Amino acid sequence: MSGNAIPVSASKDEGMSTPEPGLRRQVMSYSPAMMLVRHTMIKGWVGARHSHPHEQMVYMLRGRIRFEHSGGVFEVGPGDSFLVPGNVEHQASALEDSEVLDIFTPMREDYAA
């Protein structure tokens, strides 16, 4: 490791929480400026429609999700990525068992608690 890197990481399932049925969350690492979060969803999970002030970058590891926002609806699968601007109302649902990596900026204090 070089520079000012700070090793903050978790093992595969360390610190997993279940914020709602069908969704598991693992906060992997963060600083005040950004946060890396792993989410797994079971097929059929439908998340609550919501918005947050954070910008969100999503990278699909496995599975398939449907994403709805004010501008439309799309589906994503492994290797796909997309951005969610802050304050945009959105909703995701799992068409298959799925796993994503989310990066939030700035970090989500509600997830770190």
Torsion angle (degrees, nearest 10) of CA 57, 81, 10, 91: 60
Query: Percentage of the chain with pLDDT > 90?
Result: 84
Query: What tokens does 77 get?
Result: 């699968």
Which domains does the chain carry? 17-112 (2.60.120.10)
Between the alpha carbon of residue 92 and those of residues 40, 53, 96, the distances in Å are: 12, 17, 12
Q: Tell me what percent of the residues of the chain surpass a pLDDT of 70.
A: 88
Its pTM stands at 0.86
pLDDT tens, residue by residue, 29-70: 999 999 999 999 999 999 999 999 999 999 999 999 999 999
Using CA atoms, how far apart are residues 107 and 47, in angstroms rounded to an integer?
20
